[in-house]
Chains A and B, each alone.
Chain A
Amino acid sequence: MSMNISLHNVGIIAIIVFSLINLAIGLYQKRNRANVVTNYVSYANQAGPFMVVLSVTSTIAGGGMFFAVSQLGFETGISGIYLGLSYFFGLVMLGGLAPLIRKKMSESNATTLYEFIDARFPPVGIISLRKIFALSTLVIFFMFLGAQVLTLSFFISHIYELSSQQSITASATVIFVINTSVYVFLGGLQKDIITDIFQMLLVLVGVALIIYSINDIESIKNLDDEYFIGTKAGPVLLIGIVLFIGPALLVRPDMWQRIIASKTDAVAKWSFWIAAILSMFIFWVFTAIGMYANVEGWENGDTALFNIIKNGNGTLYSLIMVAFLSAVISSADTFLNICSISVAELLKKPFSERSLSISTLRISSLIASFLALFVAFSLPDLIDLFAGGFGALFVFMPMIYDALFSSHLNSRAANYSALAGMLIYFAFVFVFPREAFLPALIVSTSVYYVMLSKDKKTDSNKNV
């Protein structure tokens, strides 16, 4: 009983502290340059290495890290380590590509991935790839956002012992009040990146304390060999993690935002590389926690965090809880920012000038925050939400790859490919949320390259 009261107090304190600090940062920045649209959507060329490293890491290390990765370690052993490795690979790749991305964006006079897509694949008739991409990222980032809501609801239900529906409502309210009123509504990406520094430092402190709190990590040696091989959930999961997670980062607008936000090419490159190491380390820690939960005979990996710290003192408990809240909010604000930009992109009239207005962006953030609630209620499985979201991004891989590297672009092929891919994806996602991306990827890639080669042949025949 005393434990419950203590947890209750810690939860309230953590939420209040966060609300106050976030509000302070948000209001301070409001007076300065928050009203500038470019700061709201891209914060171009203003973030130093420290900011970019922590912002990228905090976007990767969200609330899901504390529960989903631990649960993965609990169930399948070192699969979470492979996940970290795949993120490492993706971030290193993105860091290597950062100077090229910045150069191409600058040549296209674009400050966001949406504008870049529009510049490289202009609309054909009434179909615009920019709009299709905006709609898709909206759905995808709602899923990511829904996952953050679920982790927060898990945290709240553990402390307050509410039913899951009540805790989802409570956590959704908390997370959206904090984020929409302070970060996204007032300052967009600028606030997001600035607050990421503070939040990620807290996450790192929390991770260090969790490591310190584990008494006998070597006890995981007692697990069966299969937990150390990582194929316990089948080889398909392993191949999927290795092949798809890392490259998916190339299609994420939040990652492009941080590349553009970096002060210089070198800052972008090195910051992504350092973030790759940091993210991989955090993945490995939480995988080990899940495996430790298994060997200790706890009920599941989700609650490992609570079990590890339950015997600690109040300060330790508070700091780890605050770290967890930081992780959730640092990812949620990024996802909400992307959702609001996507909504604004969809609200924008076709064929108007490319930049968005600050009021549209703010209205969009409010709409996005309310819509995200429905996603959390309709797909209440954490791993489904992440897998579903990541998978859908792949539909745009061929177009973005060509937008960066090819000089012969074809808007018609890109539009039809994206439309076909997303239609297939939505046809399958509610039945097979984890596997829906595969037919969508196959269809979109086939449509794109078939149409591309067909149009090339037609062009060459015309020339003859």
Chain B
Amino acid sequence: MLDKTTAQQVVNNFYAVFLGFVLSSFFIIENTDGQPYHVRFFEGIEWIILSMLVFYYIIDWFTTIFLLKNDKEITYNHLFLLLCSNITLCYTILLSINGGFQQFIVFGVYSLVVPLWDVMVAADGLKKLTYKNQQKEANKIKYRYIFGLRFLFGAVLCIPLGLLLWKGSSGTSDELLTFVHLMLSLIVIVKWLRMIVIFRIYV
């Protein structure tokens, strides 16, 4: 068993570091001729995606604290696993914003696998928690619809990446970058939707 205050401090520290990293991603630091460092503010869709992510992760922070408070049997192992999965997921998304083909593939796999994991966790959580209202069926359907939509976006992202791999492409085209950004935006929006649905059901 783990002291809840300690667990919350660990989580707080992690999110503080992580959010600092996300915020620093708003700027690109370049080494250019004559000027040792040139700081350039993100332009275009990257800026929008990052803004959405910052808001998402701030809410994610609160929900994690909320989960810790309600979990009766938190151990060091639980906390360690929670942080590891959060670090992996957060950095996968961040790296894919301006990444190369390999990062896109990692992001694609993440988008496909995480909704499945999510629904398994949710299935367990749904049994434990009581509903705010009596609309059990509607809530279940809403949650499954969001899960399905996330999985669908994951599949839409993975199919072209898989086909480009099969084709032997280098995966460096502007079209691919635009496509990944589009899917990233949609996935973040669906993550928000999921959060709203969870709040409406449980809180």
Interface residues of A (CB under 8 A from B): 78, 81-82, 85-86, 89, 92-93, 96-97, 100, 221, 225-226, 228-231, 235, 238-239, 242, 246, 405-407
Contacts and interface: CB of A to CB of B under 8 A. Distances in A.
A347 B178 CA distance: 52
A153 to B, nearest CB: 33
Contact of B160 (A86, A89, A221, A229): A229
B163 A235 contact: no
Contact of A82 (B141, B156, B166, B173): B156
B160 A406 contact: no
A53 B137 CA distance: 25
Name the residue among B155, B166, B167 with the largest chain A CB count within 10 angstroms: B167
7 smallest CB-CB distances across A and B, nearest first, come from: A405-B138, A228-B163, A221-B167, A229-B160, A226-B175, A225-B173, A89-B152
B144 A96 contact: yes
Interface in B147-179: 148-149, 152-153, 155-156, 159-160, 163-164, 166-169, 171, 173, 175-176, 178-179
A407 B137 CA distance: 12
Interface residues of B, number: 28
A231 B179 CA distance: 7
A159 B39 CA distance: 66
Given A238-B156, A405-B137, 18 more contacts: A78-B160, A81-B159, A85-B156, A89-B148, A89-B149, A93-B144, A100-B141, A221-B167, A225-B173, A225-B175, A225-B176, A228-B160, A228-B163, A229-B175, A229-B179, A230-B156, A230-B160, A239-B186
Contacts of A225: 164, 167, 169, 171, 173, 175-176
Contacts of B137: 100, 405
Given A221-B167, A229-B176, A229-B179, A93 B135 contact: no
A221 B156 CA distance: 19
Nearest to A402: B138
A242 B160 CA distance: 15
Name the residue among B137, B152, B171, B176 with the largest chain A CB count within 10 angstroms: B152
Contacts of B155: 85
A407 B133 CA distance: 12
B126 interface: no
Contact of B145 (A82, A93, A242): A93
A85 B182 contact: no
Interface of B: 135, 137-138, 141, 144-145, 148-149, 152-153, 155-156, 159-160, 163-164, 166-169, 171, 173, 175-176, 178-179, 182, 186
Chain A interface, >50% SS class: helix
A442 B176 CA distance: 31
A312 B164 CA distance: 32
A221 B152 CA distance: 25
Contacts, number: 72
A90 to B, nearest CB: 10
Given A228-B160, A229-B176, A86 B182 contact: no
Name the residue among B137, B168, B171, B178 with the largest chain A CB count within 10 angstroms: B137
Nearest to B138: A405
A230 B157 CA distance: 10
Contacts of B163: 78, 228
13 contacts: A78-B160, A78-B163, A82-B156, A86-B152, A89-B148, A225-B167, A225-B176, A229-B164, A229-B173, A229-B176, A230-B159, A239-B182, A406-B138
Contacts of B135: 405-407
Contacts of A96: 141, 144
A85 B159 contact: yes
A67 to B, nearest CB: 23
B148 A92 contact: yes
A238 B160 contact: no
Contacts of B138: 405-406
Nearest to B178: A231
Nearest to B151: A89
A238 B156 CA distance: 9
A221 B166 CA distance: 8
Nearest to A81: B159
Nearest to B153: A242
B114 to A, nearest CB: 17
Nearest to A92: B148
A97 B145 CA distance: 11
Given A82-B156, A231-B182, A405-B135, A226 B141 contact: no
A449 to B, nearest CB: 15
A231 B186 CA distance: 15
